[in-house]
Amino acid sequence: MLVEDALRLIEVRGGLGAVPGVRLAGVHAGIKPRKRDLALIAFDSAQACAAVTTTNEVKAAPVLVSAEHLALEGGAMRAVACNSGCANACTGERGDRDARATARQAAALLGVAPEQVIVASTGVIGVPLPMDRVQRGIERAHAQLEGGVKASHDAAEAIMTTDRVPKLSAYAYYVDGKKYVVGGIAKGSGMIAPNMATMLAFIATDYPMNAAALQRTLASAADESFNMISVDGDMSTNDAVYAFAPAHEQDAPTAFARALRAVCLDLARAMVADGEGATKRLTVHVTSATSTAQARTIARAVINSSLVKTALYGEDPNWGRIIAAAGAARAGLHPTAWSLSVNGTPWVAAGAVELLSEAEAHRELEESEIVVGLDLGLGEASATGWGCDLSKDYVRINASYRT
């Protein structure tokens, strides 16, 4: 029965709110005009916590403060407080104080220690948090904490910046015949790039496990999902994915690893689909690579290329840009061993031979979902990356983010 259990994976509604023992809320605190801008997440029991955060050398205050809390209470976290509308990055000592005050206030309301609270912020860099509003928002959110779809949707909305839609995903999985749930909420639509660019995700499950096992499982799932998407190649100061599970000595089961991966993939692909100004989704499957690392590097290089993205936007079958981007990655591409397909139709073979006419290829690119298959002709490893096109709207959105 164990093997069969490990394969049962059922998508459920409600994202993070579908996980037993999780209560949450998303409210309008007034950091942004009109929209929800503050989310509070509370766990009924002490949680093992894992984190994958930005590798940017400039880290926002909440990222640093949360890392400190994790080091102290990583096996016993109880809550997350997250605001949008202000990144609390490059805000000096004041930013540090504000992040700590946020954790302290949430902790006081929940009757836990400040170090048991993860804090997160997303929005404009270099502007201090309006603490009166944050505090009012936390009070309001605390009064509304509950499980379920509605609360989860509100919290997902409250962490959005330029996102057009809230992002939620949850799956039921089975261990020894017992049903568990892993669910999450995420934000991110611009400034998204490999290696954890501007995105936040909060994920939890009700299967108890230890923090080291959770960390290992999260890191592996993030490598295949959040680290394989790109909207514009930039990397933020605030990116963080946090995962929670009731604290216990036991290891993470395979079924959980599969379910967590499914949640991470759903959330990552939702970010790409919501890419700022995106009109098309791009999936790049790199196959026949010598190693997974090579396949990932090349897939990322293609989804990161501004020239590939603009050609996609223009439905221009300019495959040379794809291969120029792959070659520029200097990951060991053999210049004549590769072949290229689009949406399953062979396009270019042996590094030079066009198999589709320009008109045929152009018709393929009229689809809104484009899957580029790049066979390196070298080995047996593979990887997949997800991106989107670069449109005039991307420029419009990013030229006027603050004004």
Decide the pairing of beta strands 200-205 and 240-246.
parallel
Terminal Cα distance for the chain, rounded: 58
Span 164-193, contacts to a copy of itself by CB under 8 A: 190-191
> Which CB sits closer to a copy of itself, 201 or 325?
325
Which of these segments, 100-108, 255-263, 264-272, 349-357, binds a copy of itself (CB under 8 A)? 349-357
The reply on whether position 112 binds a copy of itself by CB under 8 A is no
Shortest distance (Å) from residue 267 CB to a copy of itself? 22
Size of the site for a copy of itself (CB under 8 A): 71
Instruction: Give the residue, chosen from 333, 372, 383, 388, that forms a contact with a copy of itself under the rule CB under 8 A.
Output: 333
Among residues 306, 345, 357, 368, which is the contact residue for a copy of itself, using CB under 8 A? 306
Choice between 117 and 191, CB closer to a copy of itself: 191
- The CA distances from residue 352 to 90, 143, 303, 356, in Å, are 49, 64, 21, 12
- Residue 198 annotated among the catalytic residues of the structure: yes
Residues 69, 314: Cα–Cα separation, whole Å = 47
Site for a copy of itself in 122-141 (CB under 8 A): 124-126
Rule CB under 8 A: choose which of 5, 139, 354, 360 binds a copy of itself.
354
Set 54, 161, 162, 198: catalytic member: 198
Q: Among 91, 205, 287, 382, which residue interacts with a copy of itself (rule: CB under 8 A)?
A: 91
Question: Is residue 326 within the footprint of a copy of itself (CB under 8 A)?
Answer: yes
Minimum CB–partner distance for residue 257 and a copy of itself (Å): 29
Q: Which is nearer to a copy of itself, 34 or 402 (CB)?
A: 402
Stretch that binds a copy of itself, among 85-93, 111-119, 132-140, 244-252 (CB under 8 A): 85-93
Only one of the segments 71-79, 217-225, 242-250, 331-339 lies at the binding site for a copy of itself (rule: CB under 8 A); that segment is: 331-339
Q: Is 325 in the site for a copy of itself (CB under 8 A)?
A: yes
**Does residue 203 interact with a copy of itself by CB under 8 A?**
no
With binding defined as CB under 8 A, does residue 234 bind a copy of itself? yes
Q: Is 400 in the site for a copy of itself (CB under 8 A)?
A: yes
**Does position 319 bind a copy of itself by CB under 8 A?**
yes
By beta-carbon proximity to a copy of itself, the closer residue of 171 and 319 is: 319
Is 48 within 8 Å of 32 (Cβ atoms)?
A: no
211 or 240: whose CB is closer to a copy of itself? 240
Q: Give, in order, the Cα–Cα distances in Å from 140 to each of 24, 36, 39, 78, 91.
A: 12, 12, 10, 18, 26
- SS3 labels along the chain: CHHHHHHCEEEECCHHHHCCCEEEEEECCCCCCCCCCEEEEEEEEEEEEEEEECCCCCCCHHHHHHHHHHHHHCCCEEEEEEEECECCCCCHHHHHHHHHHHHHHHHHHHCCCHHHEEEEEECCCCCCCCHHHHHHHHHHHHHHCECCHHHHHHHHHHCCCCCCCCEEEEEEEEECCEEEEEEEEEECCCCCCCCCCCCEEEEEECCCECHHHHHHHHHHHHHHCHHHECCCCCCCCCCEEEEEEEECCCCCCHHHHHHHHHHHHHHHHHHHHCCCCCCCEEEEEEEEECCHHHHHHHHHHHHHCHHHHHHHHCCCCCHHHHHHHHHHCCCCCCCCCCEEEECCEEEEECCCEECCCHHHHHHHHCCCEEEEEEECCCCCEEEEEEEECCCHHHHHHHHCCCC
Compose the 32-71 pattern: x for residues touching a copy of itself by CB under 8 A, - for all others: -----------------------xxxxx------------
User: Does 293 help bind a copy of itself (rule: CB under 8 A)?
Assistant: no
Q: Does the footprint of a copy of itself cover residue 226 (CB under 8 A)?
A: no
Judged by CB under 8 A, the residue of 310, 360, 363, 379 near a copy of itself is 310
Binding part of the chain for a copy of itself, among 14-22, 32-40, 146-154, 324-332 by CB under 8 A, reads 324-332
Q: Establish if 146 lies at the interface with a copy of itself (CB under 8 A).
A: no
Structure tokens at 187: 């934000």
Query: Active-site positions?
Result: 198
